[in-house]
């Protein structure tokens, strides 16, 4: 069964391989469609986002590649906006809205850099109260549709990225559950589709997807829509676990969207 992915990074941001190499690999792997989601510029310098000029170049190059390979694979030129990304007028095919930062006391704290950074941020900015940090994260997540008008909600519970290696907080703590559920309930009111992201497993951080399949099932049962994404940063991980997750969801009776057409029909009506 041919599956798509709509979460892919290239050398235009923090990916390892060029967009053309990614497209060729996706064709080789038999993907039905591939969507690119370059990291939009942030209001401060980073080493993982496109620059303003790079963003224009990205859109131009990818639009040409879409045309070049249109008989072999459907390519979509999207973007991954952070809650705090700089606005743009580039007419992307679709938008992923993701939270990679918590804004605390005027400082953008990175959520996914390393467990050491996360631990230090909780100590220095939250007086060691990890659940206050989690609450700020989910508050930001709850506003991601409002902030970005995204079609896809990226890695909903990215804040858990390091907890398998460093149990800074527990996903079964009432304050964690409460914060997460508030964000979930708010986002279920929007048309945005939730991705099930296998990237954390590929990179060896987590044993489960963002969000887990159990949470994905809950989203589905509460009327939310799902799509499986690899959040790939190289030709090696383009289809990582896509079919495993698809089979698991099939076994659970959980449906997921299979094309960009389906996604945009849900989100752009
Ligand atoms: Zn992301
Ligand atoms: Zn990404």
pLDDT of residue 172: 97
pLDDT of residue 269: 83
pLDDT (tens digit per residue) in 191-206: 999 999 999 999 999 9
Distance 28 CA to ligand 1 centre (A): 25
Mean pLDDT of the chain: 97
Distance 27 CA to ligand 1 centre (A): 24
pLDDT (tens digit per residue) in 61-88: 999 999 999 999 999 999 999 999 988 9
The closest ligand to the CA of 7 turns out to be: 2
CA distances from residue 48 to 25, 26, 63, 227, 233 in whole angstroms, order as listed: 22, 23, 21, 24, 11
pLDDT of residue 2: 86
pLDDT (tens digit per residue) in 47-65: 999 999 999 999 999 999 9
Is the pLDDT reported for residue 249 higher than 90? yes
Is the pLDDT reported for residue 225 higher than 80? yes
Q: Residue 151 — pLDDT band, cuts 50, 70, 90?
A: very high
| Helices 115-126 and 130-142, axial angle in degrees (round to 10) | 100
Using the CB atoms, write b or e for 145-181: b if 16+ within 10 Å. Answer: beebebbbbbbbbbbbbbbeeeebbebeeeebeebbe
pLDDT of residue 6: 98
Mean pLDDT value of segment 214-241? 98
Domain 19-267 sits in CATH 3.40.50.2300: no
Map out the domains of the chain as residue ranges: 19-267
Distance 165 CA to ligand 2 centre (A): 21
Distance 9 CA to ligand 2 centre (A): 7
């Amino acid at each position: 069964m041919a599956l798509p992915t709509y979460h892919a990074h290239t050398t235009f941001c923090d990916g390892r391989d060029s967009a053309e190499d990614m497209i060729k690999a996706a064709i080789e792997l038999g993907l039905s469609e591939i969507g690119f989601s370059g990291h939009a510029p942030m209001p401060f310098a980073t080493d993982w986002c496109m620059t303003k000029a790079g963003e224009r170049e990205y859109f131009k190059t990818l639009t040409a590649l879409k045309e070049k390979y249109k008989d072999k694979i459907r390519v979509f030129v999207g973007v991954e906006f952070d809650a705090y990304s700089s606005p743009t007028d580039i007419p992307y095919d679709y938008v992923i809205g993701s939270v990679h930062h918590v804004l605390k006391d005027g400082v953008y704290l990175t959520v996914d850099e390393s467990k050491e950074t996360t631990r230090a941020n909780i100590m220095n900015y939250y007086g060691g109260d990890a659940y206050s940090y989690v609450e700020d994260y989910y508050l930001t997540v709850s506003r991601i549709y409002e902030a970005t008008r995204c079609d896809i909600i990226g890695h909903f519970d990215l804040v858990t990225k390091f907890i398998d290696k460093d149990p800074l907080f527990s996903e079964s703590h009432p304050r964690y559950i409460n914060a997460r559920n508030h964000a979930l309930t708010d986002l279920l009111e929007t048309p945005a589709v939730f991705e099930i992201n296998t990237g954390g497993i590929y990179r060896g951080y987590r044993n489960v997807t963002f969000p887990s399949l159990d949470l994905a099932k809950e989203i589905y049962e509460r009327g939310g829509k799902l799509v499986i994404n690899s959040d790939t940063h190289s030709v090696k991980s383009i289809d990582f676990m896509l079919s495993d997750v698809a089979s698991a969801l099939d076994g659970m009776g959980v449906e997921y969207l299979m094309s960009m057409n389906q996604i945009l029909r849900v989100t752009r009506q």
